[in-house]
Structure 1
Amino acid sequence: MNRATGRGSIIAMVVLATFGIASAQEAAKRAAAGPVLSNTGHDAAAYGADEGYPLGTLSTGAEMRHLVATYSHFDELTPARIVARAATSWSFQRATEPEIYYSFGGERRTIADYLERQPTTGLLIARDDTILYEHYQYARSDHDRFLSQSMAKTITAMLIGIAVADGVIKSIDDDVATYVTALAGTEYGKTPIRSLLHMSSGVNFEERYDGQDDIARLGRDLFGRPGKAPVVSIAQFNTRVAPPDTRWHYASSETEILGLILRSVTGTPVADYLSEKIWQRIGTEADASWAIDGTGQEVTFCCFNAVLRDYARFGRLLAHGGVWNGREVIPHQWLIDATTVSSTDAHLAPGVATKYYGYGYQVWLLPGAERRFVLLGIRGQMIFVDPGTKLVMVHTAVRPEAVDRTASAETIALWLAVVDQLGRTAR
């Protein structure tokens, strides 16, 4: 190589290197600038991509081609009450997207692999006040309100704690009929509120998601038109199979009763109470909504809808023990009690309540020495919280099956990798 050629090659390499650095910096800047949107996702054609992910009806909403729209526009399918946002929103900071690897099925995978494999509509990872990762698929965006399903149960339980602090509920050891007199004389009416919080009433309620179980009956009662009043529907489940707080058994009916208690003691719609007590106090950026039945009562075992960043704000509040920027929003001790298994409640421990999870006050507890927990809803709705590192992972999805344990195991594997790889700098 002669001198001129060598000089040209060196100049070319310098230019390419400079361009590469600039491109990398630009890519990093883009990654830190805002959410990443995609029009596609795993098996997008089956989810109705060619039709623009069409919205069906309440009766067809569970069909695969309608799931994406159902889980991001549920409040267009059924009446819902608005949960007013904060007058002034609190903003997350942003950081460049980290590389995240996890192991599952004997393979080392990336977070991009995860999104290609799973029908995830939204995935947001935040550490305290900073968003590290925010991706949307299936033509969804940060403006869509995503359906919570049973993640709403944890929200309901936090409102019960606030109502106790407000003095309108004297004790969670009071029986339900103390506050919902229409249930007097029923088995649920004779059950302590604490047992409902623990999903341990001892009243029989079957939840198999086969369309023929008790949750299907309750859903038809509440969402049918004209439907039944919730207290009338609840009263039909009146067979006791165990003493209160001796056996854990998942039952959405128990959260519905907690909602009835809230309405009774506060004298205000649950959505309004949530807006006043939590939603506005954590600087939410968008109105949320909560589906209501034919009587105007919020369906508190499910059907809350919010944008991902507001779910992340709520997760951050939980990570900080109920305190938002120095102000107690949820009583701190309530949150500790809600996410801890006491020595007298062995039936709620991880590995006992279920093969993997434990259970607190309407929240799922992760195994291990650290206090970590997760809000769960069918088809893959999840908010993971690690108070120790202030990491939060919000995950919304449209899984074909109501309960898919293999898919959930992969999400847990991703979460554990997030805590391991991104939590180190927070310790």
Structure 2
Amino acid sequence: MRTLMKWVLRIVLMLVLAAVVVGVWKREEIQRLMAVNSLFSEEKIIHNFSHMDDAFLTVDLPRGEGATFELPYGPGFELPEGTDKWVEDRAVTSLLVMQDGQIRFEEYYLGTTPEDRRISWSVAKSYLSALFGILMAEGAIDSLDDPVVKYAPKLQGTAYDGATIRNVLNMASGVTFDEDYLDYNSDINRMGRVVALGGELDDFAASLNETFVEPGETWQYVSIDTHVIGMVVRGATDRSVADLLTEKIIEPLGLERDGYYVTDGAGVAFVLGGLNFTTRDFARFGQMILQNGEHNGQQIVPAEWIAESVFPSAPTEAGEIGYGYQWWIPVGAHEGEFLARGVYGQYIYFDQPRGVVIVSTGADRSFRDDGVNETNIEMFRTIAQSL
């Protein structure tokens, strides 16, 4: 009996030791997974969205040595009636309103500050679109109608084999992908765990093998499509998206702070949602786009590309919000009205005829409720029209 107990005790001690060894070996991965599982919790979401580098692997986007793009303050104005309630209801963390290159309103909420580098979520998709337009103009990519596998051969034989670059820019790849943020086992949440555990998103994209329609037939928001755009960029240039974005957009813009990308385990930028900048630096990008890609006498993004990319070319349903090349076009939009949008309340709204850019960041855990996006857009329109 004593021999048996000693044997059992020895086995238990060995298992405990093994668990300790694995825990130490995988400590960072376990910590990141725990961070993902609590990333959107009510008590942590505001802090987390300003400190993504505490929980994930990242790569810096240095601002460079150039002069800072000054954002002068213009005359202040009273926000329209109902704005305060909207700020509270939507858990807005910052709101910055610019007109004609001047800040007309700037405020930070829920304990955030101007120095916070806030997570972009899918606003990052529009940055990648701008970079893509630069590379197209430089001749790195031959045609939007090229198949993605021409530049991303890893996707041969997958659900993306047959899709064109235009298809993925339009979110019309036809690839089956579950974007339900509330379902723990959805594709979007499985992808998040890949990033947290140091996996590779290229492998994740290559693991998708189902389609629900032919490419180009139907619009369906599929965030992994944006990662495929990143694969195309890397394949066409043999450079990282982070380096290209820094060289061609970040440094020429003269940001006030370095930014950073969340990355996967291979150091590949999380291009579909991993940018982190201050609210003012999001506004600097927005002002450049508002000016049709020009800043300080330099054409950073081709004006023709911006016009093409914000045109609602995707096969969306009639009467629904439109989509271009990683940009949103609201229902009933007038010419020059479009936006970048990310989950939990991240927006850059544009009204070119009025010279208005509005940046809003948030931690809105009810962002998927019916009518929330429409309410946000109407608030931005009301603010722009009140200037």
**Which bin holds the TM-score, normalised by the shorter protein?**
0.7 to 0.9
**Partner of 1:94: helix, strand, or coil?**
coil
Distance (Å, rounded) in 1 between the aligned partners of 2:239 and 2:195: 19
2:36 paired residue among 50, 58, 67: 58
> In the TM superposition, what is the alpha-carbon distance from 1:270 to its structure 2 partner?
1.1
Are 2:198 and 1:220 aligned? no
Deviations 1:286-340 (A, max 9, x none): 1111000001101111111000011001111111111113321111111111011
In 2, the alpha carbon distance for the partners of 1:172 and 1:215 equals 26
Aligned counterpart, 1:279: 250
C-alpha contact 1:393 1:415 (8 A) present in aligned 2: yes
Question: Residue 139 of structure 1 aligns to a residue in which SS?
Answer: coil
The TM-score, its normalising length taken from structure 2, stands at 0.87
Question: Distance in 2 between the 1:330 and 1:213 partners?
Answer: 35
Structure 1 pair 356–241 and aligned structure 2 pair: CA distance change class (3 A): closer
Number of paired residues? 351
Q: Please, which of 299, 307, 324 is the counterpart of residue 360 of structure 1?
A: 324
User: What residue identity is the alignment partner of 1:360?
Assistant: G
Structure 1 residues not aligned, in runs of 5+: 1-55, 102-108, 423-427
Task: Report the CA distance shift for 1:58/1:217 in structure 2 as closer, same or farther (over 3 A).
Answer: closer
Q: Which residue of 2 aligns with 1:98?
A: 77
- Counterpart CA distance in 2 for 1:178 and 1:409 is 38
Structure number with greater Rg is 1
Please point out which of 372, 376, 387 is paired with 1:407: 372
Secondary structure in 1 matching 2:354: coil
Q: Distance in 2 between matches of 1:404 and 1:303?
A: 23
* 1:184 partnered with 2:149: no
Q: Does 1:370 align with 2:335?
A: yes
Aligned pairs for 1:1-400 (under 5 A) are 57-87=35-65, 88-101=67-80, 109-209=81-181, 210-225=183-198, 227=199, 229-342=200-313, 347-348=315-316, 352=318, 356-366=320-330, 367-400=332-365
| Identity rate, percent | 30
Partner residue in 1 for 2:381: 416
The answer to whether the 8 A contact 1:321-1:387 is kept is no
Match of 1:9 in 2: none
**1:259 Cα deviation after fit:** 1.2
Distance (Å, rounded) in 1 between the aligned partners of 2:300 and 2:370: 34
- SS at structure 2 position matched to 1:289: strand
Q: Kindly report the root-mean-square deviation, in angstroms, between the aligned alpha carbons of the 2 structures.
A: 1.7
What is the identity, as a one-letter code, of the residue corresponding to 2:271? T
Q: Aligned AA for 1:245?
A: G
8 Å contact from structure 1 (residues 318, 387) kept in 2: no
Q: Is the 2:144–2:164 contact (alpha carbons within 8 Å) kept by the matching residues of 1? A: yes
Structure 2 unmatched runs, 5+: 1-33
* TM-score, with structure 1 as normaliser: 0.79
Point out 4+ residue stretches in structure 1 off by more than 4 angstroms.
none
Deviation at 1:402, TM superposition (A): 4.8
* 8 Å Cα contact 1:86-1:285 kept in structure 2: no
Q: Which string of whole-angstrom CA distances, capped at 9 and with x for unpartnered residues, describes residues 338-360 of structure 1?
A: 01135xx5x23xx63xx541000
What letter matches 1:217 in structure 2?
R
Relative contact order: is structure 1 or structure 2 higher (C-alpha 8 Å, sep ≥ 6)?
A: 2
SS at match of 1:281: helix
CA drift at 1:231: 2.1
**What is the identity, as a one-letter code, of the residue corresponding to 1:235?**
A
Distance 1:115 1:218 in 2: 31
2:377 counterpart SS class: helix
> Structure 1 residues 404, 85: closer, same or farther in 2, change over 3 A?
farther
Asked if the contact 2:132/2:233 (under 8 Å) is kept, the reply is: yes
